[in-house]
Amino acid sequence: DAGVIQSPRHEVTEMGQEVTLRCKPISGHNSLFWYRQTMMRGLELLIYFNNNVPIDDSGMPEDRFSAKMPNASFSTLKIQPSEPRDSAVYFCASSFPAESYPTDTQYFGPGTRLTVL
């Protein structure tokens, strides 16, 4: 398996522009997570999907951020409009829960390094 795939790997954009990050989870995994990592705030969970349905989006910073999962093999995280403080590495992770719990071992993608000028 190719693992979790994220694109682009690097994105440089100007303030005010729309940014779309993409993620393809591991085939068969039914939970998907979006994280943001910065030096100041560490690793933060933004949103979590289970069976394509958003379960917990309490970590989404504000209305400028939105995430979708139209099917089991694709998710997007969109920032519109982008701001310099959104600069971070954004990770996508997927998991296949064991037993009855929705969170278990997570497999991370390589991340997208976003720079907003």
Partner 1 sequence: SQQGEEDPQALSIQEGENATMNCSYKTSINNLQWYRQNSGRGLVHLILIRSNEREKHSGRLRVTLDTSKKSSSLLITASRAADTASYFCATADNYGQNFVFGPGTRLSVLP
User: Which positions touch partner 1 (CB under 8 A)?
Assistant: 4, 33, 35, 42-45, 48, 55-56, 91, 93, 97, 101-111
Of 69, 59, 77, 61, which is closest to residue 22 (Cα–Cα)?
77
Alpha-carbon span 99 to 11, nearest angstrom? 38
- State the Rg of the chain over Cα: 14
CB of 51 to partner 1, least distance (A): 14
Alpha-carbon span 28 to 6, nearest angstrom? 17
For partner 1, which is the closer residue by CB, 38 or 80?
38
CB of 101 to partner 1, least distance (A): 3
CB of 43 to partner 1, least distance (A): 4
